[in-house]
Amino acid sequence: MPRISIGVPFHNVEEYLPQCLESIIDQTFTDFEVIMVDDGSTDGSFEICQKYVAKDSRFKLFYQENCGVAKARNNCLRHMTGDFITWIDSDDWIEKDYLEKLSDTQKETDADIVSTGLKTFRDGNFYIVNGNMEKYNDFPGRIIPTKVAIADMFGSKYLLVNMWGNLVDAELYNGFVFSGNLMYEDYGNKYKLFLKSKKIVGLPGSGYIYRIHSSSIMGSNRTNAFEVEFNNKIIAIQHLERLIFYLEISNFELGYFYDLYRQWLDGQIVKDNGWTIEEQEKSNNFILKRKKLLEKYLKNNDGV
């Protein structure tokens, strides 16, 4: 049984896949397996992965019809046997000591989640995100309270909501299912792990390289700024209200997160951001309606 299972779901990424997989082979830490799931690729991605399976027994390859990344991750989970799990997006890559640092930190701290920082890569340039995650040092022993980790859903101050960039005890994934049909699916799933976690530790550094390119969500060339931002608000609200639902089931810090959601909604009211008056009214009316529904729900359910 390997110490670490690495999940690599992929779909039509033949241009970037070799760099991703080579960065895994080059790791200074070697006690791992790689579970690759092809989500119905139509380019040469599957054939590329076959070559790695042929030359390295730690690599395992599975195929599914195109169903989306959530189902591909669930398929990865079914085949993982490691004590800990990490994810690497197929168009990203990792530095040579990435796994070693995560594993060593876990051993030193006995954390069930170790989260680290990242660099972004775009148009041939690297960018350091959040100052190498020095903000983890805000916490004694870099132990991040569960409430703080979940609250990162509302602002991503510590970049904790991504499925990649961390090492997670495999036991936290028992009974865990990635919810499908979600845009920005990390935001719709990661907090489930936080609710089960006993100790979350931050590791300063930036050993994960997140690639932004024309076909990625962040790099897409979209011309209608209002429609993009308005749609993103709708998606964010869907995720946050799903989060509130899970917090209610868990009875976890409800008053704090109701207030945090109120504040977040207030912060979405726009005044003068270059949109037309009609666009501002459309966005603000939507936000005010969600806040009204929240207050009505809390009143009817003795919320705070």
Report the alpha-carbon angle 143-148-151, nearest 5.
155
Contact 2, 80 (CB under 8 A): no
Helix (H, G, I), strand (E, B) or coil at 66: coil
Q: What is the C-alpha to C-alpha distance for residues 172 and 195, in angstroms, rounded to an integer?
A: 9
User: How distant is the alpha carbon of residue 106 from its chain centre?
Assistant: 19
Separation CA 265–CA 287 (nearest Å): 6
* Closest listed residue to residue 37, CA positions, set 21, 61, 66: 61
Q: What is the pLDDT along the chain (304 residues), one digit of tens a residue?
A: 999 999 999 999 999 999 999 999 999 999 999 999 999 999 999 999 999 999 999 999 999 999 899 999 999 999 999 999 999 999 999 999 999 999 999 999 999 999 998 888 888 777 776 544 678 888 999 999 999 999 999 988 888 989 999 999 999 999 999 887 666 666 778 999 999 999 999 998 889 999 987 655 444 444 578 888 898 889 889 889 989 999 999 999 999 999 999 999 999 998 777 888 999 999 999 999 999 999 988 888 765 5
Rounded alpha-carbon distances, angstroms, from residue 171 to 82, 110, 193, 196 = 10, 14, 10, 9
Contact (CB, 8 A) for 14 and 44? yes
Amino acid letter, 276? T
- Compute the radius of gyration of the chain from its Cα atoms: 20
3-state SS class at 60: strand
Pairing verdict, β 200-211 and 166-169:
unpaired
Ordered alpha helix ranges (H), 224-273: 225-250, 254-267
Question: Cα–Cα distance between 9 and 13 in angstroms, integer?
Answer: 10
Number of other residues whose CB lies within 10 A of the CB of residue 8? 25
Residues 6+ apart with CB under 8 A from 196: 172, 176
Closest CA to 244 of 233, 256, 235: 256
Query: Beta strand pairing status for 125-128 and 113-122?
Result: antiparallel
CA quadruple 18, 22, 23, 25: dihedral sign: positive
pLDDT tens for each residue of 139-176: 999 999 999 999 999 988 888 989 999 999 999 999 99
Residue 304 host element (H or E)? none
| 178-213 pLDDT tens trace | 887 666 666 778 999 999 999 999 998 889 999 987
